[in-house]
Structure 1
Amino acid sequence: MEFLAYRAGVILAAVVLDRLLGDPPQLPHPVRLIGYLIASGESIRRLPLPVRWSGTLLAMGVIAVTGAAAWLLVKLGYAAGFWWGLAVEALLVYLAVAPHSLAGEALAVDGYLQRGDLPGARQRLAMIVGRDTAGLDEREVRRAAVETVGENTVDAVLCPVFYALLFGAAGAWVYKAVSTLDSMIGYRHGPYRDFGRAAARLDDFAAFVPARLALFFVPPAALLSGLSARDAWRVGWRDRLAHPSPNAGHGEALFAGALNACLGGPSTYNGRPSEKPYLGAEYPPPGPPAIRQAVTLLWATAWLFAAAGAAVLVFLSRF
């Protein structure tokens, strides 16, 4: 099982690359290609099938194509040479994890707030959240930014790293396909309610274990970040299932406790009010340092999770 030790190196190299480089802006990101595939495949709705079946077929097709493409690229890399194969796999995992871009977008919102440019902060926030941002005040903008960092610490970091640890680069990209399907068609209301049901359920299933693993990694990461590990665990465990999503509440509740900040509450999506429970209701709203603290916690969690996963793979490689 020596290959597990090499996979551990691939995971660590991918996180280092993301920290140093972020997403290459001059190249089309593979997620955009997945998005194009999904948009092109929506014509499947015209088939004489129940809407849920056609949505399921689209989801399965996108996942199969994405996984096969990643697997083939890795195979071609190894066909060129062992180190080429490792390099291709590290590159693919690097493109699948996204702490750098998530941190950058959140800090950009924080930068606008620090300059007193609330309209700019709202516009920048709209690039990373699904809620309506036009009427948000400064505290609501800050809360939304912290919430998306907390939620996406699971979705954009722990999940792809988890599946890369289990199945290599192909596993990470199968997850990215599931996540992209959910973000594009996995809505609970409107015209995609039935068509996107399979995508939404697959995303819930795929993130189930990583979301719960966050309970064991965010608190120690909070300790490393100078935040409250005790409150992260207490509030995370208490409030994680209050969120309407089976997984999103884990990251948000953990971050609420670690930052001693109240998250959640009412929001508006496409003009439709959404009443969500408060997470960490005993705390005040996020203060001016909260976004920067959330980004620090994001990176600490990413490093800790990747290092722990790599250590497990190295240990297993000895058998």
Structure 2
Amino acid sequence: MASAAGILLGFAMDRVLGDPRRGHPVAGFGTAAMRLETVTYRDSRAAGLVHEVVLVGAAAGLGIGLRRMNAVRGIRRHHLGPARAGSANHGPTIRTLGEILLTAAATWTVLGGTTLAKTGRAMADRLEAGDVDAARALLPSLCGRDPEALDADGLARAALESIAENTSDATVAPLFWGAIAGVPGLLAYRAINTLDAMVGYRNERYERFGWAAARTDDVANLGPARVSGIITAALAPVVGGRPADAWRAWRRDARKHPSPNAGVAEASMAGALGVTLGGKTEYRHGVEMRPTLGDGPVPRIHDLRRAVRLSEAVQVAAALAAAATAAFLRRR
């Protein structure tokens, strides 16, 4: 039960503390990745693959190393404790407690759901106050759209789509891999997702170099995105929606999206909320015409608040499911 307890404790820490304001390990990883890029960058897929393997391998290796250190500490305490202390052996207890704390720390490090929800609510507050300039200044913390090209409704839609996608990427996916692979899975997934956000673009610099990062992220999110879609559909009544509408939007519209995973997250959210997402999407590098997802009106500010509530409900359900899965797998 140590992994399950660690996952739940780490999730609770994210709910209470959110992301650390300074010294965030993910930010440190990003800095290291940028420095390595100055060495590994070539305009080729092979160079991008090397970049991906080195960094993701290092993150997974760190997780494996930390887990082994905890196991070795428990083994030493198991053999040496009674001789030194002349009392009962507490080696297994120390090892279990160490695994709980290690899993909790890794889970807290990789989750971003609480900060995502806070940012979504802050965006809704600014839009409700009519402060479009402040809302535009906040948008880059959610997504890469061009805020200057968006009005209030466009900002609400951009924020809602980002919340839908990142509910899967920032919470469901790391919990999924933490349940399956423990601390190494948590750290490796966050490395994969961070590298995709850094170099997984189809522009002149990263078209080939970022190919490995983008494809690895797609593969890593195939399962989690669908778990997220299932939970989103099931919890649609939390925001006055119908599971059947979310399921229908997913089955009908997700395949239209250029991303095999973001389409699932956004379509199921659109169906649950009863709104239409997609359409003209303006980035700094240009304009994309995205397929429409869901039925109903374009999202407004109150729909953004509903999306935040649904995101938080999905996060709680995903944490409970991950803990149950981890307990089942470790028992077997």
Report what 2:292 is aligned to: 278
Secondary structure, counterpart of 1:194 in structure 2: coil
Equivalent positions of 1:227-238 (< 5 A) are: 227-238=241-252
Report what 1:292 is aligned to: 305
Bigger-Rg structure (1/2):
2
Report what 2:33 is aligned to: 38
What RMSD, in angstroms, separates the aligned Cα atoms of the two structures? 1.7
**Distance in 2, Cα, partners of 1:253 & 1:92:** 30
- The answer to whether the Cα contact below 8 Å between 2:10 and 2:105 also exists between their aligned partners in 1 is yes
Distance 1:62 1:316, change over 3 A: closer
Report what 2:85 is aligned to: none
- The answer to whether the Cα contact below 8 Å between 2:45 and 2:209 also exists between their aligned partners in 1 is yes
Residue 291 of structure 1 deviates from its aligned partner by: 1.4
Give the counterpart of 2:134 among 117, 120, 123.
120
**Distance in 1, Cα, partners of 2:5 & 2:175:** 12
- The answer to whether the Cα contact below 8 Å between 1:45 and 1:51 also exists between their aligned partners in 2 is no
Give the counterpart of 1:7 among 3, 9, 14.
3
Give the counterpart of 1:140 among 154, 177, 181.
154
- The answer to whether the Cα contact below 8 Å between 2:240 and 2:273 also exists between their aligned partners in 1 is no
Distance 1:56 1:112, change over 3 A: same
- The answer to whether the Cα contact below 8 Å between 2:161 and 2:277 also exists between their aligned partners in 1 is yes
Distance 1:121 1:71, change over 3 A: same
Q: Which amino acid aligns with 1:129?
A: C
Q: Which amino acid aligns with 1:14?
A: G
Percentage of identical aligned residues: 35
Give the counterpart of 1:60 among 42, 53, 62.
53
Report what 2:164 is aligned to: 150
How many residue pairs get aligned? The number is: 311
Residue 317 of structure 1 deviates from its aligned partner by: 4.9
Residue 196 of structure 1 deviates from its aligned partner by: 0.7
**Distance in 1, Cα, partners of 2:331 & 2:167:** 31
- The answer to whether the Cα contact below 8 Å between 1:222 and 1:300 also exists between their aligned partners in 2 is no
Q: Are residue 213 (structure 1) and residue 227 (structure 2) matched?
A: yes
Q: Are residue 97 (structure 1) and residue 108 (structure 2) matched?
A: no
Secondary structure, counterpart of 2:23 in structure 1: coil
Give the counterpart of 1:70 among 60, 63, 66.
63
Residue 134 of structure 1 deviates from its aligned partner by: 0.6
Report what 1:255 is aligned to: 269
Q: Are residue 187 (structure 1) and residue 205 (structure 2) matched?
A: no
Residue 225 of structure 1 deviates from its aligned partner by: 4.2
Distance 1:37 1:311, change over 3 A: same
Structure 1 residues 21-76: Cα deviation after superposition (integer angstroms, max 9, x where no partner)? 11122x311111111121011123467xx721111111100011111223323333
Q: Which amino acid aligns with 2:226?
A: R
Q: Are residue 20 (structure 1) and residue 16 (structure 2) matched?
A: yes
**Distance in 1, Cα, partners of 2:280 & 2:300:** 18
Distance 1:181 1:248, change over 3 A: same
- The answer to whether the Cα contact below 8 Å between 2:180 and 2:329 also exists between their aligned partners in 1 is no
Distance 1:46 1:255, change over 3 A: closer
Residue 139 of structure 1 deviates from its aligned partner by: 0.6
Structure 1 residues 216-243: Cα deviation after superposition (integer angstroms, max 9, x where no partner)? 2111222244433221111122111111
**Distance in 2, Cα, partners of 1:273 & 1:150:** 21
Structure 1 residues 67-97: Cα deviation after superposition (integer angstroms, max 9, x where no partner)? 1223323333452632133212211111111
Residue 288 of structure 1 deviates from its aligned partner by: 2.3
**Distance in 2, Cα, partners of 1:28 & 1:214:** 29
Give the counterpart of 1:244 among 258, 281, 297.
258
Secondary structure, counterpart of 1:276 in structure 2: strand
TM-score, normalised with respect to structure 2: 0.89
Q: Which amino acid aligns with 1:167?
A: A
Secondary structure, counterpart of 2:205 in structure 1: helix
Report what 2:84 is aligned to: none
Distance 1:14 1:84, change over 3 A: same
**Distance in 2, Cα, partners of 1:92 & 1:316:** 19
Distance 1:191 1:149, change over 3 A: same
Structure 1 residues 153-209: Cα deviation after superposition (integer angstroms, max 9, x where no partner)? 111111100000001121011011111111111111221111111111101111111
Residue 128 of structure 1 deviates from its aligned partner by: 1.5
Unmatched tracts of structure 1, length 5 or more: none
